[in-house]
Amino acid sequence: MQQFQVACDTCGAQLVPNAAYCERCGTRTRRARRLVRMAIRVELLIFLMFLALVVAFIWIYAVQK
């Protein structure tokens, strides 16, 4: 779903194309919110992969003893 946002959701001010924030009230645009959600998801995925790696190493170490 690709919606092009031209006005701020909060104050209705016109937005610069691809703006991350409203210049008038500072509200994050829908595009920026989506990017933030995506970044959080990627971060979480990397953290889970790291956690799985640590658990795997601990398991291998425990098994080899």
Write the single-letter amino acid at 54.
V
Q: Which span (5-13, 34-42, 44-52, 54-62) binds Zn ion, by CB under 5 A?
A: 5-13
Q: Which span (7-15, 31-39, 40-48, 52-60) binds Zn ion, by CB under 5 A?
A: 7-15
Smallest distance from the beta carbon of 16 to Zn ion, in angstroms? 12
Q: Answer yes or no whether residue 27 interacts with Zn ion by CB under 5 A.
A: yes
Tokens of 7: 């006005």
**11 φ, ψ (degrees, to nearest 5):** -110, -10
| Number of residues engaging Zn ion in binding (CB under 5 A) | 8
- CB of 56 closer than 8 Å to CB of 39: no
